[in-house]
Homo-oligomer: A and B are copies of this chain.
């Protein structure tokens, strides 16, 4: 574990991939290395990019990485796939488009499957962001693959959230409906050359609340990520948002929210793991019995709690007559 950290500090290119693999499967040596590295973290601009499928998220991430390299910033990209319980296959296909970036030693690309047992992002995603941060990448781009409810959890991992839209999605109504605009620190209308792009930007601007003095004013930016047009302005907005977070003191709040979510999710995941182990195979039957009115809900709750190792019986004998 000390070896791994020494290799990371020496810039050995194999150290970070190895650390991430160990952390992803919660290997004790990896978790110990992460614990030792954790005090170094909290400095990177962690940017979540989310939005509707087809809006061009991957292309924008790619273009943002190019813009960062043009500004001589090192950049790490973490592709998070909330639909898959294992990493690899599906996500790697997308990443082939990023092969031009693979050749650049200043760019690090990795994917992670993040289907949490209890919903939300799996602990692996948060832990891997800490590793990239500790490895000294000043800019970490998080891309969710797929859309829906899972995307919304990205606001817990990221310090800055970019929501990408493109014309042809019902003029923004779908985006409003999906509830993802609220989490955006920066809104991007991609495919700016398509008809309706300017109207979509207007609709999005109209849906934003006016900021109070000192609050962040969410910019709505037009890009053509495929050609790179407008992308440097998005990178500028990211860096400006980072400065606003620091100056306003909002960064402390975001780090606290992230820490709280990570710790409490970790506790819940572990309790759920023990609960699943204790009720394996029997939960479906218990629920069916309650639904069919054969077992009262309270009895089912007590039976499940009684089956948890070490918690047995604590709540099961409270009923009087």
Given contacts A256-B287, A270-B305, A291-B259, contact A32 B319 (CB under 8 A): yes
Q: Which of B176, B252, B256, B319 contacts A177 (CB 8 A)?
A: B176
- In chain A, residues 18-69, which have Cβ atoms closer than 8 Å to a Cβ of chain B? 28-29, 31-32, 34-35, 38-42
Q: Are A287 and B304 in contact (CB under 8 A)?
A: no
Chain B binder among A91-99, A186-194, A233-241, A310-318: A310-318
> CA separation between A290 and B300, bound complex, in Å?
36
A73 near B: Cβ within 8 Å?
Answer: no
Chain B residue with the shortest CB-CB distance to A275: B267
Interface residues on A, range: 35 or more
Given contacts A1-B321, A35-B299, contact A291 B256 (CB under 8 A): yes
CB-defined contacts of A42 to chain B, threshold 8 Å: 293
Given contacts A28-B320, A304-B267, contact A293 B256 (CB under 8 A): no
Q: Are B1 and A288 in contact (CB under 8 A)?
A: no
Q: Are A29 and B301 in contact (CB under 8 A)?
A: no
Query: In the complex, how many angstroms separate the beta carbon of A222 from the nearest chain B beta carbon?
Result: 23
CB-defined contacts of A291 to chain B, threshold 8 Å: 252, 255-256, 258-260
Q: Which of B126, B287, B297, B304 contacts A297 (CB 8 A)?
A: B126
Q: Which of B252, B256, B301 contacts A266 (CB 8 A)?
A: B301
Query: In the complex, how many angstroms separate the beta carbon of A218 from the nearest chain B beta carbon?
Result: 16
A298 near B: Cβ within 8 Å?
Answer: yes
A86 near B: Cβ within 8 Å?
Answer: no
Chain B residue with the shortest CB-CB distance to A182: B177
A271 near B: Cβ within 8 Å?
Answer: yes
Q: Which of B40, B259, B287 contacts A263 (CB 8 A)?
A: B287
A286 near B: Cβ within 8 Å?
Answer: yes
> CA separation between A26 and B239, bound complex, in Å?
53
Given contacts A256-B287, A311-B310, contact A320 B263 (CB under 8 A): no
Q: Which of B29, B177, B319 contacts A320 (CB 8 A)?
A: B29
A262 near B: Cβ within 8 Å?
Answer: yes
CB-defined contacts of A314 to chain B, threshold 8 Å: 274, 309-310
Chain B residue with the shortest CB-CB distance to A271: B271
A296 near B: Cβ within 8 Å?
Answer: yes
Q: Are A35 and B319 in contact (CB under 8 A)?
A: yes
CB-defined contacts of A1 to chain B, threshold 8 Å: 320-321
A179 near B: Cβ within 8 Å?
Answer: yes
Q: Residue-by-residue, is A155-192 near B (CB-CB < 8 Å gives 1, otherwise 0)?
A: 00000000000000000010011010000000000000
Given contacts A293-B39, A310-B314, A318-B28, contact A287 B260 (CB under 8 A): yes
Q: Are A38 and B311 in contact (CB under 8 A)?
A: no
Provide a sorted-by-A list of 11 A–B residue pairs whose CB atoms are within 8 angstroms: A34-B296, A35-B319, A130-B297, A252-B291, A259-B287, A259-B297, A263-B287, A263-B301, A267-B304, A309-B314, A310-B310
